[in-house]
Amino acid sequence: MKKDIYYCIVLSDSQLDFLAGSKYGIDRMKVLKCLIDAAVIKETKYEKKGFAVTLHIGQIALSEVELATRLGYDKKTVSRLLDKMAELGIITSEQTNRTSIHTVHCVSAWYADNQKILNPYYVSVKERRNHVYEIGEDGSGENCIATDVPNGENTKSDTATCCNNGQPSLSLISDGNVHGGNGV
């Protein structure tokens, strides 16, 4: 029996624009959905041919070849998509000798079995935007989320916007329509 899981996804306008776009019939949002669906929501031991690692909440062990096979896309295409998603701050990927470990940064929390599971790897849109600026990507900087709480603090954050007391909702929030207390 598959349990209901709800996601709190926070994307900037540029991230959403990229994911909503399609080139050569490649559904970019499908790639993100596949990664989010494969992400663990509790610590999980992963083993493969003598390789072992503990996956933390928000991480996925999935090679580019495995991901390409699941999606029915070419490995090079998937590799380029993952690189662009990393450049935009949506995910990060680390190659190991057996697979790739991907970390999802755009999901602030999961809501499963009446329990909110915070993503310790969630990075606010403001921080993702700053990271994009640091690596030289051009952006307008005119919209940002002003309700930032550092990871690891168990207080209300922008996660509360979509995962609130017993009322789960599937939320896709663009930073152009989320307003906080610091003057946006």
On whether residue 184 sits in a domain, the answer given is: no
Helix (H) or strand (E) holding 102: strand 100-104
pTM across the whole model: 0.70
**What's the rounded Cα separation, in Å, for the pair 148 and 16?**
20
Token output for 168:
């789960």
Write out the DSSP string of 115-170.
EEEE-TT---HHHHHHHHHHTT--------------TT--S--GGGGTEETTEE--
Domain count, the chain: 1
Q: What is the pLDDT of residues 55-100, one digit of tens each?
A: 999 999 999 999 999 999 999 999 999 999 999 999 999 998 889 9
On whether residue 183 sits in a domain, the answer given is: no
Token output for 116:
């909110």
Residue 133's domain spans which residues? 1-178
